[in-house]
A and B are shown apart, each in its own frame.
Chain A
């Protein structure tokens, strides 16, 4: 403890942070918008509390209120935030500044936005002790170097001398965390610190955060929309919905014995291991989040709840909502539900999104040895002298796989693995450098979209990732759909087009009057549905879905995923599902293709890929996925090092630089063989299959654990 006098660790007894009946509002053109209502929190030294909820539930607003950063149009309208017993609202700007730098630190989602791009990282880190602890340069540099080692950054001296853009995203986030830790804060706020990162990188950061809490005895508030991450990092959890906490308690208790229908709904909506589209379908939460000024009286979740009882749930008993109630026999577990003790969760089996498996049809897509290299022209003088003017970015390297009618093939990989390039080749936005892409027997690898017929274009369509970007904000939903129908030549007559637009809206279960709406009047999930309607406008034989639900909230994800699968089943469409979310892939895919740095590492049926023998990369990916299930035990594999650049991929096996199972020189020099475990299950690795078969499964379900009442 660097103790600089008053109020540092240890001196103060009692909770570090208390929020008492906190209410926060924003003031806009439309009037007062209550963002958070009746928020209570007690955080003791060394505690870590998770705030989990979907977008718009007010979790970030709480963090901003604790930092007293609400901005011009926001304010605390009721209750208090007490930091070590002092009401933050009564402090002066100067006192707040001292507090923010020295005792409360915050880590944001985008690491690049938190770092100054024009200063070396060392200088930025040194500023903290220089400014706050009044030490000399040498001491500041020493502290900066030490903290970088503490956040497991290799070679701190090199990092100190680098600028932010010279290190990877994961390393940037480690530096941001290091910077937050430098002043040895009592309270650390983390707002979605890993959302912008790849899964394998995320796993490392999560491990680091969990370690920090122990090592520095820092109290933490961890904000996330991901239940799995909360389980990995926190002791307690607050589940938020529409500005209120609906359930609070120990993570294990809440996850195993949730009492609020919303919490239950969240868990039913996320794919957990063991979930499968035919056995345990996902259950979406119906309806959508009410706008803050249009919340229903009483229980805010009422209109979406299966257990809603008129006369009880819609009667406000506590301000405009209902009061928190303790759960009997579970100290510290409270729930904002009038009927929590009446609902029998064991008997409640909500109906999920459709079942029954489908039979595959003929081969629709056959890719063999497809290669896509981008040429980079280097116009520098050095390149002229060496005579190496052209370099290649090997975005795709010998891609081979097949997909059948009505089959779902998932392409899994982290950013930069070449999955988007592959999609572009399929769509005709790029042409392949080499190899064959047979679609319905025709080679389309060298056929750009301009040379395809409208019917051909209509038969391969794409669903995009970002709901806020997928529709043109300047045109109505109907006119955008109509354009696609006309363009693909499905209909030409104006009335018939209109008719077809309505049919498409019906197909994606949107009301017909949405045709006249602008995209900004739609929610994220609704926009994504329109995106699906657009892709299916030309009766496609194959649809490429590029992370179609990753930007959506979990409860909406389940609904959109279910819809997509229904439509696919109805039209027997081939679905290429590009994703980084292995839980979702396991849930809905028939076959999985795992890619890394442009090459396929492993492919096979979903069961084959998710069970040994694994490719070492698949194994690491599986272990990195956060799982919101207390009964799951995972092997911990943290990948070392950075993703190599596609400009200069490693020789031999592309994964050898980070592989935890590297066997020796051969991995660095020779391209691995495609070892065939069984028909269609191929692993791209030097390690003999017999050895890979001996590997233990990554995810083990400890069957009994979940049935026993959790120890208090």
Chain B
């Protein structure tokens, strides 16, 4: 009976299974739009050297409006900035930075927030009190002030930006993981693991964490979006990576004084940031939608 009802699947790798469940996103229009936006930017970043018409840091012709034809006959589709660099090329190269930094920073934040959340949710008691207290202190701090303090004291560099973003996002992840662990710890399979004397870390990582992955994947997508904004904000505040390499937030910052007369210098980097953030948010919505459906 059972054999007829349920077909026997071959042994599958966990990665493939994960991929298959993520592939359900094709059933959500919103999710597909989000995915398309992200894929677009990823392709742009990968093929930046092919796509960009100019080197990103070359000063060619200052203050050109979009569509202006340059000295060698090529066109500045999105115009140039105040010191004559092609905006399109800078946006294209800038996507590389954001698409490397945002995932790495998000990953680091998860690497910090997840174990703490698991420990607090599983062990409860003192562990939970102390960790939650620390998380609350960080969360109660205005994030921008936090960034300014961190980067102003240790200086702007790739690592420091990573540390600042990780530090600021980890408490949010901590809270989500803690909540999931608090619920999952009462499952009978966790009791079963306890009654066979498994170590607490094994229970947290092998019994609890895999079952929290659904909500965490959705959260990771949303958080990637936030981190992109954060990196943009840091760039805008002048706390991003030092010039001259293109940085979307930095591009807005450098040209904001001219924004009234030359709006194209700020508007295109803004569109770039928002479209990528939107992509991640829509993907998160889509994933949530398909995960709720059966």
Given contacts A303-B1, A469-B188, contact A29 B294 (CB under 8 A): yes
Task: List the one stretch of B67-75, B104-112, B190-198, B246-254 in contact with chain A.
Answer: B190-198
Residue of B195, B207, B293 touching A472 (CB-CB under 8 A): B207
Given contacts A461-B195, A466-B188, contact A290 B5 (CB under 8 A): yes
Given contacts A428-B195, A429-B195, A462-B192, contact A28 B294 (CB under 8 A): yes
Contacts of B5 in A (CB 8 A): 288, 290-291, 294
Nearest residue, chain B, Cβ from A487: B196
Query: Complex formed: what's the CA distance from A534 to B198 in Å?
Result: 14
The proximity string for A residues 163-177 relative to B, scoring 1 for CB distances below 8 Å and 0 otherwise, is 000000000000000
Contacts of A291 in B (CB 8 A): 5
Task: List the one stretch of B6-14, B34-42, B146-154, B158-166 in contact with chain A.
Answer: B6-14
Residue of A287, A484, A487, A516 touching B8 (CB-CB under 8 A): A516
Nearest residue, chain A, Cβ from B14: A474
Q: Is B133 an interface residue (CB 8 A)?
A: no
Q: Is B127 an interface residue (CB 8 A)?
A: no
Contacts of B10 in A (CB 8 A): 516
Nearest residue, chain B, Cβ from A427: B195
Given contacts A294-B5, A474-B211, A511-B2, contact A449 B188 (CB under 8 A): no
Q: Are A469 and B189 in contact (CB under 8 A)?
A: yes
Contacts of A85 in B (CB 8 A): none
Nearest residue, chain B, Cβ from A523: B2
Q: Are B188 and A487 in contact (CB under 8 A)?
A: no
Query: Complex formed: what's the CA distance from A526 to B3 in Å?
Result: 12
How would you classify the secondary structure of chain A's contact residues: helix, strand, loop or mixed?
loop
Q: Is A114 an interface residue (CB 8 A)?
A: no
Q: Are A457 and B196 in contact (CB under 8 A)?
A: yes
Q: Is B210 an interface residue (CB 8 A)?
A: yes
Query: Complex formed: what's the CA distance from A476 to B274 in Å?
Result: 42
Q: Nearest Cβ distance between residue B129 and chain A, in whole angstroms?
A: 12
Contacts of A462 in B (CB 8 A): 191-192, 195
Given contacts A470-B189, A474-B211, contact A29 B195 (CB under 8 A): no
Q: Are A449 and B11 in contact (CB under 8 A)?
A: no
Q: Nearest Cβ distance between residue B4 and chain A, in whole angstroms?
A: 8
Contacts of B206 in A (CB 8 A): 475
Query: Complex formed: what's the CA distance from A290 to B10 in Å?
Result: 23
Q: Nearest Cβ distance between residue A467 and chain B, in whole angstroms?
A: 9
Contacts of B293 in A (CB 8 A): 29
The proximity string for B residues 170-203 relative to A, scoring 1 for CB distances below 8 Å and 0 otherwise, is 0000000000000000011101101111100000
Q: Nearest Cβ distance between residue B21 and chain A, in whole angstroms?
A: 12
Query: Complex formed: what's the CA distance from A288 to B5 in Å?
Result: 9
Q: Nearest Cβ distance between residue B207 and chain A, in whole angstroms?
A: 6
Query: Complex formed: what's the CA distance from A361 to B126 in Å?
Result: 46
Residue of A29, A454, A470, A521 touching B6 (CB-CB under 8 A): A521
Size category, B interface: 20 to 34
Query: Complex formed: what's the CA distance from A29 to B291 in Å?
Result: 13
Nearest residue, chain B, Cβ from A286: B1
The proximity string for A residues 564-578 relative to B, scoring 1 for CB distances below 8 Å and 0 otherwise, is 000000000000000
Q: Are B195 and A454 in contact (CB under 8 A)?
A: no
Query: Complex formed: what's the CA distance from A593 to B206 in Å?
Result: 37
Q: Are A475 and B9 in contact (CB under 8 A)?
A: no
Q: Nearest Cβ distance between residue B23 and chain A, in whole angstroms?
A: 13
Q: Is A471 an interface residue (CB 8 A)?
A: yes
Given contacts A469-B189, A472-B211, contact A488 B196 (CB under 8 A): yes
Contacts of B191 in A (CB 8 A): 429, 462, 464
Q: Are A449 and B192 in contact (CB under 8 A)?
A: no
Q: Are A464 and B192 in contact (CB under 8 A)?
A: yes
Q: Are A471 and B189 in contact (CB under 8 A)?
A: yes
The proximity string for A residues 423-446 relative to B, scoring 1 for CB distances below 8 Å and 0 otherwise, is 000011100000000000000000
Query: Complex formed: what's the CA distance from A471 to B196 in Å?
Result: 14
Contacts of A487 in B (CB 8 A): 196-198
Q: Are A449 and B197 in contact (CB under 8 A)?
A: yes
Contacts of B211 in A (CB 8 A): 472-474
Query: Complex formed: what's the CA distance from A466 to B190 in Å?
Result: 13
Query: Complex formed: what's the CA distance from A484 to B189 in Å?
Result: 12
Query: Complex formed: what's the CA distance from A290 to B2 in Å?
Result: 9
Nearest residue, chain B, Cβ from A535: B192
Contacts of A428 in B (CB 8 A): 195, 197
Q: Are B9 and A517 in contact (CB under 8 A)?
A: yes
Contacts of A288 in B (CB 8 A): 1-2, 5
Q: Is A452 an interface residue (CB 8 A)?
A: yes
The proximity string for B residues 229-262 relative to A, scoring 1 for CB distances below 8 Å and 0 otherwise, is 0000000000000000000000000000000000
Q: Is A513 an interface residue (CB 8 A)?
A: yes
Contacts of B213 in A (CB 8 A): 474
Q: Is A68 an interface residue (CB 8 A)?
A: no
Contacts of B196 in A (CB 8 A): 449, 457-458, 461, 484, 487-488
Interface residues of B in 1-60 (CB under 8 A from A): 1-6, 8-11, 27
Q: Is A465 an interface residue (CB 8 A)?
A: yes
Chain A positions within 8 Å of B, measured between CB atoms, are 28-29, 286-288, 290-291, 294, 303-304, 427-429, 449-450, 452, 454, 457-458, 461-462, 464-466, 469-475, 484, 487-488, 511, 513, 516-517, 521, 523, 526, 534
Chain B positions within 8 Å of A, measured between CB atoms, are 1-6, 8-11, 27, 187-189, 191-192, 194-198, 206-207, 210-211, 213, 293-294
- A-B contacts, 15 listed (Cβ < 8 Å): A29-B293, A288-B1, A303-B1, A457-B196, A461-B196, A466-B188, A470-B188, A471-B189, A474-B210, A474-B211, A475-B210, A487-B196, A516-B8, A526-B2, A534-B192
